[in-house]
Chains A and B, each alone.
Chain A
Amino acid sequence: MSPVPDVPAGVVDDAALLRQVSDGNRQALELLYRRHAGWLLIRLGRRCADPGVVDEVIQDTFVAVWRSASKYSGQGEVAAWIWGIGVRRLVDAVRRVPATQLVADPIEQNLELSAEERVLLGVQYGDLAGALDRLSPELRAVVQSTVLDGLTTAEAGRLLGIPQGTVKTRMKRAREQLREELA
């Protein structure tokens, strides 16, 4: 295994690449693909157990990047923008292939979430990671899709194969449980 390659200085940044993509530059698209397809594939692969579906979603995502590069606002990380497209394409793909096996991500030990994520959870203090740990897998899956992956309740419901109302109730229950444990 080679040491971690640092991104060389003077390399065109993602936002500039995306501008070139919106001008129809195919090489810029390929460069963007080489930079982002890998981590996106790993991250999506943790949410969908079928590699065929994941490959198709990656492909859809970069075709969408090609077609809608001009819609990138220029604010925020390009990676986050690509993730937003990718995770929504995954939701769509899962809806088309209902038999897809989804990975519910069990929560493990002790790293803290970002401040923003804590506020979203409505939790301020205490052993957050431990508390997340003690959520049931169903509640944790809902917290992950909505808070961490940035999906709406409707999209999370489609991804997890449960009704939107159930997402809301589970989210509410998760919030109550976390608040109790962290009080």
Chain B
Amino acid sequence: MTWHIPEPMALAYVSGEVQGARAASIEAHVMTCATCRSLVGREVPTDRLDAIWADVEELVDAPRPSWAERLLTRVGVPESDARLVASAPSLHLSWLTAVAGVLAFAAWASQNGDRGLVLFLIVAPIVPVVAVAGAYGRWIDPTYEVSVSSSYPTMRLLLLRAGAVVVASGVLAALASLLVPDARVAAAWVLPCLALVTVTLALSRWLPLLWSAAFVATCYVMPLLGGLHQDADVLAFVISRAAQLTALVVAAAAVTFMFTDPQLRAALRRSQ
């Protein structure tokens, strides 16, 4: 292209004096002409461009946000929250892969008679509890020291992360349950899971999260394994209406109890 924007017109464009159709024409030409791009561009003060470049360099060097962080930002979680939530160890891809593997195994086992179905009912509700345990805590979380020393409210972080990991592992468990041949069993893990997760969170008021999760998981798994050992009909028990209702009541009680915690109420208020 041999035609170039006359310099006075370029200057008038940069200063905003040229507008409308003429400005549109300049902009269309600038897209196709490197000479006129540099003519327009060199009117920007060098130190302003240098300052922006310094920021670009810094961001380019920074580690790329994880997939979880990008997903959270996309659904509207503020960036600072997203970074903290996404750094939960149990949201890492390696962790989720392991969870998917365990659930796939349980779903496979459920194809093989009543004992397999019981195994699925033991594993599926426990998986989100383990994920919550892996969401936050001194032994698990490499960012723990940072989060303790920052002014960010611990309870809020715990809840945000617990929510995120329960959704992530819950979705995996729901997918696995699609493979379970018995429809009653496929749905029966949901309420016990809800009860276990909420009780774990409620107990974390006194216990470190890891202990509280271990305690709750043990209280759920041990009696069921004991029942299996005694040849009791564990399957019928777990899917019975009474057991399911109990799970619902326990979950409701745990949530109610959590709301008596002033720290938690403060955390929820902050998130509104």
Contact = CB atoms under 8 A, between A and B. Distances in A.
Interface of A: 1, 4-7, 14, 26, 29-30, 33-43, 46, 55, 58-59, 62-63, 66-67, 77, 79-80, 83, 105-114, 117, 128-129, 132-133, 140, 144, 148
Contacts of A67: 64
A133 B20 contact: yes
A63 B56 contact: yes
Given A4-B7, A4-B35, A83-B31, A38 B43 contact: yes
A105 B20 contact: yes
A77 B31 contact: yes
A87 B14 CA distance: 18
Given A38-B44, A129-B20, 9 more contacts: A29-B60, A38-B41, A42-B13, A42-B41, A80-B31, A105-B20, A107-B19, A108-B22, A111-B24
A63 B55 CA distance: 9
B59 interface: yes
Contacts of A39: 30, 37-38, 40-41
B27 interface: yes
B23 interface: yes
Nearest to B64: A67
Contact of B21 (A4, A41, A66, A110): A110
B4 A111 contact: no
B53 interface: yes
Q: Chain B contact residues (Cβ within 8 angstroms of A): what range?
A: 35 or more
Given A37-B52, A42-B44, A59 B21 contact: no
Nearest to B25: A111
A4 B49 contact: no
Contact of A107 (B14, B21, B55): B21
A171 B41 CA distance: 31
22 contacts: A6-B35, A7-B35, A29-B56, A33-B49, A34-B49, A35-B37, A38-B38, A38-B40, A39-B41, A41-B44, A42-B40, A55-B51, A77-B31, A79-B30, A106-B19, A107-B19, A108-B22, A110-B21, A112-B25, A117-B28, A148-B27, A148-B28
A153 B44 CA distance: 31
Interface in B1-33: 4, 7, 13-14, 16, 18-25, 27-28, 30-32
Contacts of A29: 56, 60
A14 B31 CA distance: 12
